[in-house]
Amino acid sequence: MNDETKAPAPVLDPEALAEISKRGVARLFRERTVLVTEGEKTNALYIIVEGRVRAYVSDANGREAVLSVMGPGEYFGEVALDDGPRSASVITLEPCQLIVVPRAELEDFLDENPGFRSHFINKLIQRIRTLTQNVRSLSLMDAYGRVARLLLESSVTKDGEQYVPERLTQADIASRVGCSREMVSRLMKDLETGQFIAARGADTVILRPFPSGW
């Protein structure tokens, strides 16, 4: 039996997903489709059934900072409840199937389903904690510390092997940790040379504990 030692991000269980899906409309989206644009006003919750999406913020020069990558069972668009503008953009990383739940239906569902309301609140709390950790990382950690933290937090452990299952390009890592791609390239090469990590197909295998500093 596979052992999973890293707790997955909170996702909807099949029963909750089936119930809230009745309140929304299933839609298919192609890869690289912008679902939500930062600053716009929309009034829907998006639930991921299949595929992965990336949430990010950007500036006038086109520079981006990745906030999160989400997959099946996760959802985004919670800020629709306050009728304010979207705080981030979201784009599909691959073909996706989503359930789009209008704000009015979401509010009714929250009132009628205490279990989902609790999950909803816990998800918001988790995102606040994640954002707080990211701010701490950007403020207090050097580039190596931020890269190491991202690799460890993105990893899972199965059958005694720790690895990062998602394909993280150097550009992806750079945008998520707030440093240059050249710096990421150098750090990843150093970690490989030191036999701390190894590439295996699309996965990055963590061979042994990272040093506390570089």
pLDDT digits (tens, 9 = 90+) for 85-124: 788 899 999 999 999 999 889 889 889 888 888 888 888 8
Q: How many domains does the chain have?
A: 2
Q: Residue 191 belongs to what domain range? A: 142-206
Residue with tokens 């489709």: 33
- Co-location of 117 and 164 in the same domain: no
Packed helices 181-193 and 143-154: angle between N→C axes, nearest 10 degrees: 70
* Long-range pairs for 23-26: beta carbons < 8 A, 24 or more residues apart: 23/101, 23/102, 23/105, 23/106, 23/108, 23/109, 24/99, 24/100, 24/101, 24/102, 24/105, 25/99, 25/100, 26/97, 26/98, 26/99
State which of 116, 138, 160 marks the end of a domain: 138
- Co-location of 131 and 48 in the same domain: yes
**Residue 213 within any structural domain of the chain:** no
Nearest Cα neighbor of 39 from 63, 56, 51 is 56
- Co-location of 115 and 149 in the same domain: no
Question: Rounded to whole angstroms, how far apart are CA atoms 110 and 102?
Answer: 12
- Co-location of 178 and 126 in the same domain: no
What CATH number corresponds to the domain at position 191? 1.10.10.10
According to the model, what pLDDT value does residue 25 have? 95
- Co-location of 129 and 184 in the same domain: no
Residue 101 · residue 109 · CB < 8 Å: yes
- Co-location of 197 and 159 in the same domain: yes
Residue 39 · residue 81 · CB < 8 Å: no
According to the model, what pLDDT value does residue 80 have? 64
According to the model, what pLDDT value does residue 4 have? 39
What CATH number corresponds to the domain at position 86? 2.60.120.10
State which of 87, 115, 138 marks the end of a domain: 138
State which of 113, 138, 163 marks the end of a domain: 138
- Co-location of 101 and 196 in the same domain: no
Q: How many CA atoms are closer than 13 Å to the CA of 127, on its beta-carbon side?
A: 19
- Co-location of 127 and 34 in the same domain: yes
- Co-location of 18 and 92 in the same domain: yes
According to the model, what pLDDT value does residue 1 have? 37
- Co-location of 28 and 117 in the same domain: yes
Nearest Cα neighbor of 48 from 66, 32, 24, 65 is 24
Q: How far is CA 174 from CA 19, 47, 66, 198, in A?
A: 39, 27, 9, 19
Is 150's pLDDT higher than 50? Answer: yes
- Co-location of 101 and 168 in the same domain: no
Question: Rounded to whole angstroms, how far apart are CA atoms 150 and 144?
Answer: 10
- Co-location of 119 and 160 in the same domain: no
According to the model, what pLDDT value does residue 8 have? 41
Q: How confident is the model at residue 9 (pLDDT cuts 50, 70, 90)?
A: very low
Compare 79 and 30 and report the one with higher pLDDT: 30
**Residue 212 within any structural domain of the chain:** no
